[in-house]
Amino acid sequence: MDRMALRRTFGRFATGVTIVTCSTGEGVHGMTANSFTSVSLDPALVLISIDNKAKMAARLREAGHYGLNILSQQQMALSNHFAGRPGDQPIDFDWHEDIPLVRGAMAHLACRVKDVFPAGDHCLFVAEVVDHRHEDEATPPLLFYGGAYRQLHEMAA
Ligand code: FAD
């Protein structure tokens, strides 16, 4: 199968953008991810899919937790930073117990890893949500579609 063509087909699914964060003996590590899926309300479960080659994969196994930080339309530079294109903007973290959260994100989920499923060249990290909060719905999200950042537009009724 043509991997690039498959990537373009996958890219036809529009998503939001998150930064996954965790803390280990090596300190706080963050990584941009759009594979976030809400899985279950009771119990509260979420899922992220992490490339085995990403540093984050080993860090998450060690940490046993992660923060999910959902980005607003104003935070494209932050997304690029945590995708390996570092910028010079200041980055601060807040904490839920030992779980780091990116200050200024429009929504946060603090999660404890329950299961790790190897899945091809990625691993699926299923986790229980132990805390969460969000800003009001007026804050527009950062979107990702077709390999590019996008903005939300309301549809006419
Ligand atoms: P690195 O590449 O070393 O680190 C990532 C960046 O974060 C570096 O620039 C580093 O300086 C910075 N950083 C890390 N910790 C800190 C800290 N404590 N303080 C300040 N800066 C810090 N990959 C996936 O596996 N799954 C996905 O779902 C996914 N979705 C993506 C969605 C988008 C929109 C984009 C742009 C990329 C996505 N990626 C995804 C790719 C992934 O973000 C990159 O491959 C990333 O570089 C992998 O990070 P790493 O863990 O290997 O660490």
Residue 70: band (very low, low, confident or very high) from pLDDT cuts 50, 70, 90: very high
Asked whether residue 103 carries a pLDDT value surpassing 80, the answer given is yes
Which whole number is the average pLDDT over 60-73?
98
Task: Return the higher-pLDDT residue of 139 and 77.
Answer: 77
Local confidence band at 66 (pLDDT 50, 70, 90 cut-offs): very high
C-alpha 83/C-alpha 152 separation (Å) is 22
What residues are in contact with ligand 1 under a 6 Å CB criterion? 17, 28-35, 49-51, 54-56, 79, 81-84, 86, 91, 144
To test ligand 1's pocket by mutation, which of 34, 82, 124 has the most ligand atoms within 8 angstroms of CB? 82
As a whole number, mean pLDDT of residues 5-28 equals 97
Extract the runs of DSSP E, i.e. beta strands, from the chain: 15-16, 18-24, 27-33, 37-40, 45-51, 65-70, 93-96, 99-102, 107-119, 122-134, 143-145, 148-150
Neighbours of 19 (CB within 10 A): 23
Residue 150's SS3 state is strand
Q: Does 157 score more than 80 pLDDT?
A: no
Residue nearest to ligand 1 atom 8, measured at CA: 84
Take atom 45 of ligand 1 and give the residue whose Cα is closest: 83
Average pLDDT over residues 139-156: 94
Cα 47 to Cα 26: distance, rounded to the nearest angstrom:
24
Q: What residues have CB less than 8 Å from 85, skipping those under 6 apart?
A: none
ipTM: 0.99
- Residue having the nearest C-alpha atom to atom 36 of ligand 1: 83
* Average confidence (pLDDT) over 99-120: 98
The span from the CA of 144 to the CA of 32, in Å, is: 11
CATH (residue range 16-138): 2.30.110.10
Report CA(40)–ligand 1 centroid distance (Å).
26
Virtual torsion, Cα 51, 104, 136, 50, nearest 10 deg: 0
Nearest CA, atom 9, ligand 1: 84
Q: What is the pLDDT of residue 138?
A: 78
What's the pLDDT score for residue 18?
A: 98
Q: Is the pLDDT of residue 118 over 80?
A: yes
Q: Is the pTM for the entire model greater than 0.90?
A: yes
Q: Which atom of ligand 1 has the smallest separation from the CA of 21?
A: 15
| Structure token digits, residue 142 | 């950062």
DSSP 8-class letter at 142 = P
Q: Is the pLDDT of residue 45 over 90?
A: yes
CA of 21 to the centre of ligand 1 (A): 10
Using CA of residue 113, residue 118, residue 119, residue 122, what is the dihedral sign?
A: positive
Task: Assess whether pLDDT exceeds 90 at residue 74.
Answer: yes
